[in-house]
Structure 1
Amino acid sequence: METDCTRDESPAGGGVLTPLPAGTRLLHIGPHKTGTTSIQGALFAAKDEMARHGVAWPATTRHPMEAVLAACARTAMMGDTTPTERHWERLLEQVRATGRRTSVISSEFFADAPEGDTIGRIVEQLGGDRVHVLVTLRPLARIMPSQWQQYVQNGLRMGYGDWLEHMLRKPPYEKPNPSFWHRHRHDRLVERWARVVGPERVTVVVVDDRDREGLTRTFEALLGLPTGLLEPVPDAANRSLTLAETEMLRNLNKEFRANELPAELYSQLVRNGAVMHMKNTCTPGFGDVKIRTPQWAVEAAAEIGAEIAERIEGTGVRVIGDMRLLSAVQLSAAQQPAPRSDPDPRIAPEVAAHALYGALAAAAAAPPRHTAAAKSRTVHQTSSKELVRVLGHRCLKRLRLR
């Protein structure tokens, strides 16, 4: 294994890492919850300055999610507009416009690319042998709580303990989220892409959470950028939910599904309304309980992490960072299992109010849409479940008209 940097050795400052060849198209494929949003924000904010150093950011947004979802033939998040091939073609046009300059494209959804010809097609369209794949990794025990609450933000109704049981103890480990191990069995992820581009054009970066600037320094070194050019960009909308916030949302998901409300309504009012406003306006305090992983799951994740590290070492890809972190069982104090004396998590009234306001504001801001009139029936002829659904539609329609 080639270890180019550790926590005590900066690749950019120490001169250990050499930049990729000029004209490289650096493809950062995530996966999810490995610092992707943070590095995308830093790259997008510095795109003009990077251009002065010969490095292009082809996308017009921080994250070209729709384009990548289309390329990977993956469905959008619950209720969102379905991505089209045109989204992907538009990104390809922007990549081609960079000419012979070095460029960087980043999306964690590239990790969702299925087996088969999809990866080969993506690589070929992005430049073939000019493409260098970058994979960022964190220990599974740190990924799992963040990924669970992200699934809840997309409609999941299963509690964290049950979810861990399914992911770690119930073969074939595909329910309720088959995407999890496709993304986070990191050895297989690296192998899928290395088979297409060759191990010499794959770099794995193990993110050390103790070194907050380590990932940006590594990107600077690989892209040949001056040290310090990339800076973290605060993004409240990307913060993780507390346990109480996640549980509130999870119970809302149960009511939402039980009443068979449309997915579009979830995207608009819940994820992009209530949750987004709550994240942007409410900062978790010292007393807020975070999502904590039980010790048995931490140890199980560490065992899988050791297997992942061993298999990645055998692929011949370049590794930056300490692979031993992938099998670590020591978590931060905030992630340690809660003592039995801890009270049940309770959502603060002001947090609930902000969430409710976010949903109402999203409804009021939405353009009105015309729907066909339903057959006339009395209230007594209608089930209570359907009444809730109809009333929800009517409230949404009135708010849109306002």
Structure 2
Amino acid sequence: METDCTRDELRADGAAIAPLPTGTRLLHIGPHKTGTTSIQGALFAAKDELVRHGVDWPAATRHPMEAVLAACARTGMLGDTAPTERHWQQLLAQVRATGRRTSVLSSEFFADAPDDETVARVVGQLGGDRVHVLVTLRPLARIMPSQWQQYVQNGLRMGYEDWLAHMLRKPPYEKPNPSFWRRHRHDRLVERWARVAGAERVTVVVVDDRDREGLTRTFESLLGLPKGLLRPVPDAANRSLTLAETEMLRNLNKEFRANELPAELYSQLVRNGAVMHMKNTCTPGPGDVKICTPRWAVEAAAEIGARMAERIGGTGVRVLGDLRLLSVVDETGTAVAADSRIAPEAAAHALYGALAAAAAAPVRHTAAAKSRTVHQTSSGELVRVLGHRCLKRLRLR
């Protein structure tokens, strides 16, 4: 096993991390919650500077999510327009346009590729032997709370401890989110891509959360960029929800599902309306309770991390960083939260976000009057009717 250290761009043996060969297509596959958004933001913001140093960012956006979802046969987020093969082919055309220059792509959704056949298609269409796969890893105990609240933002109704029990204690560990272990059984993820790309063309970077600039420096070294070229880009929309915010949304998800409202309405009014506005306008303070992982789950995650580290070390891939970090028992964030009530200001911003999203769809016509009055209609039916009317207005844009 080759274990290197990303700190100061030096390996454990004191040698610098050599840049990848000119013409390499560096494919960063995540997985989720391992610094993907921050590195995507830094690369996209510096795309013009990258060109001056012989590196292209072929995607037209910070994150070509639709294209990657289509390539990996994944549906989009709840209620979003389904990605199509056209999205993937457009991205491939942009990659081919870089010619023999070095290029870099990053999407955590590449980690969702379900099997070797899909991985082989992705690698082959992106350039085969020119592709070098980069996998970024963090300890499971740090990933799980962020991943749970992300699932809640896509409609999950299960509480955190119950979700942890399903993921860690209830085989086959596929409910309610089968994608979790496809992404975060990191040893199998590395093995899957190494079987196709070849172990010599796979690099694993173990992210050290104590070194905030370590990941960007590693990308700079691999791409042959000047130190300091990649800088973090603030992105409030990507911040994790607090426990209170997540619990508010989780209970809203229950009402939404119980009343059988259309998924498109969830995308427009809840995720891209209420939640997005709340994240953009509310900054969590020191008094806001974070999502806390119980100690039993932290210890279970550390045990899995140790097994994954051992298997990754035996794959023959290059490892930058310390694989032992994957099995460290993290004491932070294990305290029991005493109060998870959402602040009135945050609730108001969320409600305004939903109202603003609904108001963005102009009213073109009014539905025919019903024979029953509002007072003669059950609350559940009222919610369903209002939901369908809002969706109809949104579709008229």
On whether the aligned pair clears a TM of 0.5, the verdict is yes
Verify the 8 A CA contact 2:30 2:108 in the aligned structure 1: yes
Q: Which residue of 2 aligns with 1:143?
A: 143
Name 1:233's counterpart in structure 2.
233
Look up the match of 1:365: 360
Classify 1:370/1:55 alpha carbon distance in 2 versus 1 (closer, same or farther; 3 Å).
farther
Paired residue for 1:5? 5
**How much has 1:222 moved relative to structure 2?**
0.3
What are structure 2's unaligned runs of at least 5 residues? Answer: none
Partner of residue 378, structure 1:
372
Alignment deviations for residues 258-277 of structure 1 (CA, whole Å, 9 cap, x no partner): 01110000000000110000
> Which position in structure 2 is the counterpart of 1:392?
387
Provide the rounded CA distance (Å) in 1 between the counterparts of 2:60 and 2:331. Answer: 37
> 1:264-312 deviations in whole A, cap 9, x for unaligned?
0000000011000000100001110000100000000000000000000
1:348 aligns with 2:343: yes
Matches within 5 A, 1:40-119: 40-119=40-119
Alpha carbons of structure 1 residues 369 and 95: separation in structure 2 relative to 1, 3 Å: farther
Secondary structure of residue in 1 paired with 2:3: coil
Which position in structure 2 is the counterpart of 1:281? Answer: 281
| 1:375 Cα offset (Å) | 11
Distance 2:68 2:307 in 1: 29
Measured after TM superposition, the shift of residue 384 of structure 1 is 4.0
- Paired residue secondary structure (1:26): strand
Offset at residue 393 of structure 1 (A): 3.1
Q: How many residues align?
A: 394
Kept after mapping to 2: 8 A contact 1:364/1:400:
no
Q: Per the alignment, do residues 101 and 389 of structure 1 end up closer, same or farther by CA in structure 2, a change over 3 Å counting?
A: same
Q: Over the residues paired in the alignment, what is the CA RMSD in angstroms?
A: 2.1
Structure 2 length-normalised TM: 0.95
Q: TM-score, normalised by structure 1?
A: 0.93
Aligned-partner Cα distance in 2 for 1:367–1:24? 49
Match of 1:173 in 2: 173
Return the alpha-carbon distance in structure 2 between the equivalents of residues 167 and 223 of structure 1: 37
Task: Indicate the residue corresponding to 2:261 in structure 1.
Answer: 261
Q: Structure 2: which amino acid aligns with 1:74?
A: R
1:11 and 1:217 in contact (8 A); partners too: no
C-alpha distance 222-347 of structure 1, shift in aligned 2 (>3 A): same
Alpha-carbon distance, 1:156 to partner: 0.2
CA contact (8 A) 1:42 1:232 kept: yes
1:397 to partner: Cα distance: 5.4
Instruction: Name the residue aligned to 2:313.
Output: 313
Task: Give a deviation string over 1:111-132, Cα, whole Å, max 9, x none.
Answer: 0001141110111100010000
Q: 1:366 to 1:128 in 2, by over 3 A?
A: farther
Alignment deviations for residues 233-269 of structure 1 (CA, whole Å, 9 cap, x no partner): 0100111100000000000000000011100000000
- Please state how far the C-alpha of 1:365 moved relative to its aligned partner: 1.7
Give the secondary-structure state (helix, strand or coil) at the position aligned to 1:117: helix
**Mapped partners of 2:212, 2:148: distance in 1:** 23
Higher mean alpha-carbon deviation, 392-401 vs 261-270, is at 392-401
Equivalent pair of 1:26/1:131 in contact (CA under 8 Å) = yes
8 A contact 2:141–2:330 mirrored in 1: no
Question: Which aligned pairs between 1:167-246 and structure 2 lie closer than 5 A?
Answer: 167-246=167-246
2:335 paired residue number: 337
Q: What secondary structure is seen at the aligned counterpart in 2 of 1:154?
A: coil
Q: 1:395 to 1:62 in 2, by over 3 A?
A: closer
Find the residue that maps to 1:261 and give its secondary structure: coil
Identity of aligned residues (%): 84
Contact persistence 1:259–1:385 (CA under 8 A):
yes
- Which whole-Å CA distance do the structure 1 matches of 2:302 and 2:120 have between them? 32
